[in-house]
Structure 1
C-alpha cells in the first residue's frame, strides 16, 4: 500500500473514531436533532413509496452518493430517475432497528429495510442493512450518502 493510501486510510479511521466517540450535542439539542433526522428518514421513505420527484429531490442533497447493496452507486439525478421512471418500484417499505446519532451538522442513521418491490414489473422482496448520512443544509436534513449491504432474512 502506498504511503498516501495509508495516510488516507489512517485519516479516515481516525475521523470515524472521533465521530463515534466525540461528545455529542447537549441532550436536548441532540433529541431535537434526532427527531428532525427521523422525520427526514420518514420523508425519504414516503417519497420512495410515492415515486414523487419533487419529494425525492427535496430530501436529497445535491451531492448525493446513493450506494446499493449490489455495489451500484448513483448520484442524485440517477437515484431520483430510477424511482420516478419505475426502474426501482417499492410497494412497501418497513424500517426496523433504527438508530440515529448526530454530531453537529451530520447525522448517521442505521436501520434494516425490508420491502416489497416490483422492479421491471417483477414482484420481489428485499431485506438490507442501510447506513444513511444526513447533513443539515438550509435549515433541514438532507440525505448526503447512503450505503446498503445484503442482510439475511
Structure 2
C-alpha cells in the first residue's frame, strides 16, 4: 500500500515538473503580447497624427492578438486620459502634453490548474493578467 501511495505522489510531482514550465511559458508569452500591443497602441495613438486611441484601433489590436492564440472576446481595453477627457474620440484628440493611459487585460484561463498537484491554489477564475502604459499626447491642432 505504501508503494502505491508513493508512486501516486511521485507521479504527480513528475507531471508537475514536466508540464509546469510549459504553462509558465504560455503565461509569459501572453503577458508579452499584451504589453507589446499596449506599447504599440500608445505609440500610434499619442502621435502627432492622432492624439486618441479609437475603437477601430482597439479592434485591430484584438485581431493581431488573436493571431497569437488569444480569444478576441476575452481581451479588455481601458483607455483614459490624464485630464479626464474622452481619450478615444477621433473628433476631439487630446492636446499635446496630456497623458494617455491604456490598460489591456486577459484572463488566466486555468493556466495554473496543474499547480494543484503540489498543493498551490490557482488564482481566482475572475483574475486577469494586465499590461499598462502611459504616453503624453503629441497632437498639435
Q: Same fold (TM over 0.5)?
A: no
Q: Calculate the TM-score normalised by the size of structure 1.
A: 0.35
Structure number with the bigger relative contact order (C-alpha 8 A, sep ≥ 6) is 2
Which protein is bigger by CA-based radius of gyration? 2
Structure number having the greater helix percentage: 2
